[in-house]
Chain A
Amino acid sequence: MDNECRRAFNRNSKVKSVNISPVVRSDIKSLTKRRYFFDWKKEFSTELYKLTLKEQNDILGIISLERIPTEWRVHIRLLTVSSENKGSGKIYEGIAGNLLAHAAKIAVNEYGEMACISLRPKSSIVLHYISKYNMNITGTTLSLEVPEILDLINKYEKD
């Protein structure tokens, strides 16, 4: 599931091709807390993916995952976009969405019609996730299953 090619948009709505591939040891040095919000070195033992523009090395977003086969679920542990891609002045749209779609693809590839991705954002931003990605809420956990998980995959392949 590495080297997936999808697309993000820059400020002028121009489509850019992106790659999603596994984070490798040589990336870790550049993953500073200042630019990527979390201490990613501590996550290196988990399944980690980075989003870059096609044929470029600069990392624009990162996601760490846990596969839970007994529950047909992929749990998103951490997800972030680089600091210059947040807020109103951000350079690219769709980084988080592409990373979520990547997790969705892993889940569907592994678990087919039983596939599920889950995450637990802060309560203040739960509604953003529900409205933007059509997620279901159970307690403090948001999840996507069939059919919505398929819509997410489709959305980021067509956009």
Chain B
Amino acid sequence: MKKTKKINSEKEAFEFGVDSRYKTNAEADTEALSLMKARLERMKYVTKDQVVKAKLIQLRLKMEDYLKQPVYDNQNHFARFLESYIDAIYSRRIDFAKDINVSPVYLSQIINNHRDPKEEFILKLMIHSEKAFKHIVVFHENIWFQVYFHEKICDTMNRQDVWRPKIEKEVKLTEPIG
């Protein structure tokens, strides 16, 4: 009877909570050291395939984070995500270009922000990602388009001082409203 009660209370404790706070810095340091040693040992057995999976999941999480808020930092996010995606899977970018049937020069221009991707390029990227993520983690098919347009919107709204004076001069409202 006592034993059953103990097992139940242990299970409840398991479900109720964990307190992992270190009591002293010395305790934290000692634990950290032995944990790191053990992790480095375990890392030796991590396969290349598992590393690719981790990188792709990381990329998806970063893309989702980026979409959650307006970002005004003059960075080319679409190109950076594309670069990370290709480099996670391929050792040579030219092989990715071949796989999606575009020229390496065109791919390089997109990555280096020398030209905008055409709709067809993003569609190809979408299909390629569907195949790559299929057995790894959920990857929403519209995410590349979302990133691309999110960046366009953020950039446009951030550069109002550049385009607004000229555009405002060209726009009138002649019909009375309200």
Chain A residues packing against B (C-beta within 8 Å): 1-3, 37-38, 68, 71, 73, 75-81, 83, 85-88, 90, 96, 105, 108-109, 112-116, 118-122, 124-125, 128-129, 136, 138-141, 143, 145-147, 150, 153-154, 157-158
Residue of A nearest to B59 (CB): A112
Given contacts A146-B50, A157-B137, contact A108 B57 (CB under 8 A): yes
**B1 interface contact, C-beta 8 A:** no
Interface centre among A96, A125, A136, A139 (most CB of B within 10 A): A125
A71-B36 in contact (CB<8A): yes
**B73 interface contact, C-beta 8 A:** no
- Shortest CB distance B16–A (Å): 4
Q: Which residues of A contact B53 (CB under 8 A)?
A: 146-147, 150
B35-A118 in contact (CB<8A): yes
Given contacts A141-B31, A145-B43, A150-B53, contact A38 B19 (CB under 8 A): yes
Q: Which residues of B contact A108 (CB under 8 A)?
A: 54, 57-58, 61
User: Beyond the given A86-B12, A116-B35, A147-B47, could you list 8 further A-B residue pairs with CB under 8 A, ordered by the A residue number?
Assistant: A71-B35, A80-B18, A85-B15, A112-B54, A118-B20, A125-B14, A145-B46, A154-B136
Residue of B nearest to A157 (CB): B138
B58-A109 in contact (CB<8A): yes
21 contacts between A and B (CB under 8 A): A1-B61, A37-B16, A71-B35, A79-B17, A80-B16, A81-B15, A81-B17, A85-B15, A86-B12, A86-B16, A96-B15, A108-B57, A108-B58, A109-B65, A114-B43, A116-B39, A121-B18, A122-B18, A129-B14, A146-B46, A157-B137
Per-position 1/0 for B58-70, Cβ under 8 A of A: 1001100100100
**B34 interface contact, C-beta 8 A:** yes
A78-B58 in contact (CB<8A): no
- Across the A-B interface, how many residue pairs have beta carbons closer than 8 Å? 136
Which listed residue (B31, B37, B62) contacts A109, Cβ 8 A? B62
**B105 interface contact, C-beta 8 A:** no
Residue of A nearest to B16 (CB): A86
B18-A146 in contact (CB<8A): no
Q: Which residues of A contact B34 (CB under 8 A)?
A: 138-139, 141
Top 8 nearest A-B pairs (CB, nearest first) are A80-B17, A113-B54, A109-B61, A120-B20, A138-B38, A125-B14, A128-B14, A112-B58
